[in-house]
Amino acid sequence: MSVTVENLGPCKRLLRVEIEAAAVTAGLASAKADLARRVSLPGFRPGKAPRHLIERTFADRIREEAKRKLINESFKAALAEHQFTLVTEPKIEEVQFAEGQSLIYTANLEIEPQFELPDYKGLPVRRENRSVTEEDLERAVRVLREKSATFADVERPVQTGDFVVVNYQGTCDGKPITDTAPTARGLTQQTGFWLQVHTEHFIPGFTDQLLGASKGEKRTVTVTFPSDFVAAELVGKVGVYEVEIVQVKEKHLPAEDEALAKSLGAPDLAALRDGVRRDLENELKTKQRQEVRNQLVGGLLGRVQIELPESLVELETRGAVYDIVKANADRGVPKEAMDDRKNEIYQVAVQSARERLKVMFLLGRIARQEKIVLTNEELSRQVMYVAHQRQTRPDKLVKEMQENGELVELQRQMTNAKVLDFLEQHARVEEAPGGGA
């Protein structure tokens, strides 16, 4: 067998494979013998039909099976010889196949990028020695108290920090706001809407104009929509709101005491604070580790040039665009605003896609170089954990993950995590003083 390779560009190759005539003849004979053992003809027991009848009756099938086997085996050997790893299905075209002649075919390939691994041991990283302070603990406990806050109705004028329940209708240029921004229905009219009386809450300056108002009072509020407002059509325009104060509410935090601890599932206040401190320490360790890993990945990317398969870049870019659009939609950004920024979103997505692919290929190569593998036990433990989180059976979860490609992605993520563990163990770490969490 002879193989020639033509470089068609980054990650694209054309293989031309020639299998000598003798191997083709042997392949046809092998296919004929194999078929003779498996098929039967009328009047003959299975496997006992004369070879010439088998050859005459199943000529096309013999030919196709021989060709398929010869191409499959030679193609695998060619990939191994040149150390090519495919990223898409190859396009194989037959040029010549006949008994007594060489089999010649070509294969268009898109392969993993071939690049020289940079030095990945001893990468310099800086780790700040931060710790959880009493101030951090107090802030975290206050957050818990905030989540348990109550709101009491008060019969007095509105003060800064209060919460008010209002009904409102808004206009812009004398017309409903939806005439200017069709998706901004919530900005046009609301009933029973809660607002915190704070300058930056809702539309900047809106709640300031409610100070001193009492329950049942009506006020006209005028605002100018800021430059970074979520509805781009309203930026710089003036909105006029007719607002009715339905209720004034005062926020009350629960005392930091045993009752609070018990309401949050802790036996006493000391246990609650100990638990909060442990959570903060674990969160800090996770954050510090992620910072180190980000430095490791950045250091690797800065030391290598990788030409990427364009089909993977396109696929990864589509996924990145989806993630960006979904994140913005979850934040309430209207579709029209995202359409106005679609070119910017696409450029950000392309950059993100290329970086993610480079990291994937880099970590994959290091895993092979260092023989870092994910064991079945490790994967099984993670699948059991995910199944518990999703409240489903592990066997059902595995089937679903196999069907949607999630299992392959989980394996890659777990293997990458082991590679990053390895890089961190071999990194040159500079310890630096830091503050609180």
The enclosing domain of 41 has a CATH number of 3.30.70.1050
Chosen domain end from 252, 280, 310: 252
Mean pLDDT of the chain: 90
Domain that holds residue 11: 2-110
H/E segment holding residue 363 = helix 342-369
pLDDT band with cut points at 50, 70 and 90 for residue 54: low
Q: What pLDDT is recorded for position 231?
A: 83
Of residues 190 and 342, the one with the higher pLDDT is 190
User: If you average pLDDT over residues 112-136, what whole number do you get?
Assistant: 92
Asked whether residue 299 falls in the same domain as residue 349, the answer is yes
Q: Average pLDDT, stretch 23-34?
A: 88
Residue 77's alpha-carbon distances to 16, 43, 81, 140, 430, in angstroms, are: 13, 42, 6, 61, 47
Residue 40 confidence class, pLDDT cut points 50, 70, 90? low
**Structure tokens of 157?**
């004028």
pLDDT recorded at residue 199: 92
pLDDT the model gives residue 281:
95
Q: What is the pTM of this model?
A: 0.71
Residue 93's DSSP bridge partners are 106
Q: How do residues 270-312 score in pLDDT, each as one tens digit?
A: 999 999 999 999 999 999 999 999 999 999 999 999 999 988 9
Give the pairing type, strands 12-19 and 103-110: antiparallel
- Percentage above 90 pLDDT, the chain: 70
Query: Alpha-carbon distance 431 to 127, whole Å?
Result: 5
431 pLDDT higher than 60:
yes
pLDDT tier at 20, thresholds 50, 70, 90: very high
The closest of 157, 169, 146 to 244, measured between CA atoms, is: 169
Residues 319, 429, single domain; the answer is yes
Q: Mean pLDDT throughout 5-25? A: 92
pLDDT digits (tens, 9 = 90+) for 238-251: 999 999 999 999 99
Q: Are strands 428-433 and 150-153 parallel, antiparallel or unpaired?
A: unpaired
- The whole-number pLDDT of residue 335 equals 75
**Average confidence (pLDDT) over 87-116:** 90
| Domain final position from 60, 92, 110 | 110
Contact between 104 and 95 under an 8 Å Cβ cutoff? The reply is yes
Residues 95 and 163 in one domain: no
Closest CA to 306 of 100, 101, 111, 60: 111
Rounded alpha-carbon distances, angstroms, from residue 428 to 125, 291, 292, 301, 423: 6, 14, 11, 17, 10
Give the pairing of strands 103-110 and 175-176. Answer: unpaired
Res. 354: pLDDT tops 90? yes
Number of domains observed in the structure of the chain: 3
Q: What is the pLDDT of residue 44?
A: 64
Same structural domain for residues 281 and 429?
yes
- What is the pLDDT at residue 49? 65
Please report which confidence band the pLDDT of residue 151 belongs to, taking 50, 70 and 90 as the band edges.
Answer: very high
Q: Does residue 423 belong to any structural domain of this protein?
A: yes
pLDDT reported for residue 43: 64
- Judge if 170 and 75 occupy the same domain: no
Mean pLDDT, to the nearest integer, of 206-220? 96
Q: Are residues 297 and 388 in the same domain?
A: yes
Residue 201 has pLDDT above 70, yes or no: yes
In the predicted structure, residue 70 carries a pLDDT above the cut 90: yes
Dihedral (Cα; 412, 413, 418, 419), 10-degree rounding: 70
* Average pLDDT value for residue range 202-206: 94
Supply the pLDDT for residue 34: 81
